[in-house]
Structure 1
Amino acid sequence: MAFKRLLLVAVALVSSLSAGTAATDHTVTFVNRSGQTLWVGSTVNADGSVNFTGLPVLANGQSATVTVPESAEPGHWRGKFFGRQGCTGTSGRDFHCLVGDCGVFADHCATGEQPASLAEFNFDSGDSLAPWYDVSYVNSFSLPVTIEPVGATVPPGSASCGSAGCPDDVLPFCPAEYVRRGPDGAPVNCVNPNRDAPTNYSDTVKAHCPKAYAWSKQDTEPGNQTMYQCGSCRGFTVTFHGGS
């Protein structure tokens, strides 16, 4: 009986330790300061990551929070969030968006996204440095985006847990040949002509927002400020700022 009690205590101790060290899913809070209504979209990498449904629609000034399913199978979540603009139609039937279109559903994406500003994440329960994150204007610039860690514990002198992106509007500086306009003629997007090489597009983005990706290999440039990691945060705030 003494051995049985000892065994039960050992099992309870292991269970307690396991519960204390279990992975905790991070949250992402979306804040809309764009001056317009946004439909949050999300797409995932082709690595087993499970995409979201039930994503929020945010009027200007509103915010909403989602929990990232990183501790469920396959043990990671790698993907991106973006603000869909100028959306019309009925969800599931003829819903489409002027910028960031990704299918006929208002609360989730059914196709890959059309060019838009992106908040990209790599949540990996097996990587002690994760989450990794960046703001990407590699495909296009549609809205200013920032990513801020929440509840991070950063040792003095550490470069981790930085702020990605910037609130500056790049659209007014877009080279004219890359501007895409809405039905009213107003510019709504600046589309990169070549995501895999430096161009006058990437030069423009880097000049106004050095803490975002301007082309796909920018992270190989000396002194770049494109990729961030924060292993100690509870989650992130993704803010969509006002454009033109």
Structure 2
Amino acid sequence: MRTSACLLTGLLLLTGAASATAQETPDHTVTFVNDSGEQLWIGSTTNPDGSEQLTGLPVLADGESATITVPESGEAGHWRGKFFARQGCSGEPGADFHCAIGDCGPEADTCTTGEEPAGLAEFNFDPADPDAPWYNVSYVNAVSLPITIEPDDADPPPDSNQCEQVGCAEPLLPYCPPENLTGGEDGQPQLCTNPSRDEKTPYSDALNEHCPRAYGWSKQDQEPGNDVMRNCPSCGGLTVTFHRPS
């Protein structure tokens, strides 16, 4: 009985220490860089797992950047979600605000609906996971602006693929199959939409060839030798850059 009591006390102490460590771990940051050549409104949606929906998301003129803190140590104890560029936005926030790409509701600094087709920067921030954060670029729905994700202040182990950049800066619209390409009001190519996100298509083949470190279809991470997902436990944050479309 005495041994069991000591063991229980030890377990409680260890649990308390682990909880304290998790609580003391600072939240990561995400920095957005606009290198797209146009004004962008940053959008975000979250996984349906209690992750906090973000407000106060930045609006960036071309060449600007902004940094937010991810609420991973909030009530949910993690943050899992995605960021995307809202393009061609106009109207009065809270009323008729609307975006040509990445539309997600009538507010300029937060999303109230699911996003329309756009390229995504996806993250899993979880203090309980020693291998987190995990990150990837996804063109499973569509692609307009090329996206890269790069960790900040990282110190990865030698000979590992941790903390590597994912996505690509190369314009992708020139490789879009014509039947999947739509233009903007100026007639220039604007969006390439995946015709079937859950199977390989000429769309995913084109993206895999020119941007192998991004999802071109939903099951790409199950393909042998795929190169789409990374993690970086040593980073203080990550930088998402939206590049020029052509």
Equivalent residue number for residue 229 of structure 2: 227
Equivalent residue number for residue 41 of structure 1: 43
CA distance in structure 1 between the partners assigned to 2:34 and 2:237 by the alignment: 17
> What SS does the aligned partner of 2:135 have?
strand
Matched, 1:104 2:99: no
Pairing 1:1-244 to 2, within 5 Å after superposition: 18=20, 22-244=24-246
CA distance in structure 2 between the partners assigned to 1:179 and 1:19 by the alignment: 49
> What SS does the aligned partner of 2:207 have?
helix
Q: Deviations over 1:199-243 (max 9, x none)?
A: 000000011100000000000111111111111100000000011
> What SS does the aligned partner of 1:41 have?
strand
Residues 1:84 and 1:93: Cα distance change in structure 2 (over 3 Å) = same
Letter in 1 for 2:66: A
Residues 1:111 and 1:24: Cα distance change in structure 2 (over 3 Å) = same
Contact 2:22 2:128 (C-alpha < 8 Å) held by counterparts: no
RMSD in angstroms over aligned alpha carbons? 1.7
CA distance in structure 1 between the partners assigned to 2:21 and 2:43 by the alignment: 33
Q: Deviations over 1:41-67 (max 9, x none)?
A: 000000000111000000000000000
CA distance in structure 1 between the partners assigned to 2:136 and 2:21 by the alignment: 31
CA distance in structure 1 between the partners assigned to 2:73 and 2:22 by the alignment: 14
Letter in 2 for 1:106: A
CA distance in structure 1 between the partners assigned to 2:225 and 2:22 by the alignment: 39
CA distance in structure 1 between the partners assigned to 2:75 and 2:160 by the alignment: 32
Letter in 1 for 2:35: R
Which 5+ residue runs of structure 1 have no aligned equivalent? 1-13
CA distance in structure 2 between the partners assigned to 1:198 and 1:78 by the alignment: 26
CA distance in structure 2 between the partners assigned to 1:20 and 1:109 by the alignment: 29
Which 5+ residue runs of structure 2 have no aligned equivalent? 1-15
Instruction: Report the CA distance between 1:125 and its aligned residue.
Output: 1.2
> How many residue pairs were aligned?
231
Indicate the percent of aligned positions where both proteins have the same amino acid. Answer: 61
Instruction: Report the CA distance between 1:176 and its aligned residue.
Output: 0.7
TM-score computed with the length of structure 2 as normaliser = 0.91
Contact 2:97 2:108 (C-alpha < 8 Å) held by counterparts: yes
Instruction: Report the CA distance between 1:18 and its aligned residue.
Output: 3.9
Residues 1:175 and 1:155: Cα distance change in structure 2 (over 3 Å) = same
Instruction: Report the CA distance between 1:184 and its aligned residue.
Output: 2.1
Residues 1:126 and 1:180: Cα distance change in structure 2 (over 3 Å) = same
CA distance in structure 2 between the partners assigned to 1:20 and 1:129 by the alignment: 13
CA distance in structure 2 between the partners assigned to 1:19 and 1:149 by the alignment: 22
Contact 2:23 2:73 (C-alpha < 8 Å) held by counterparts: no
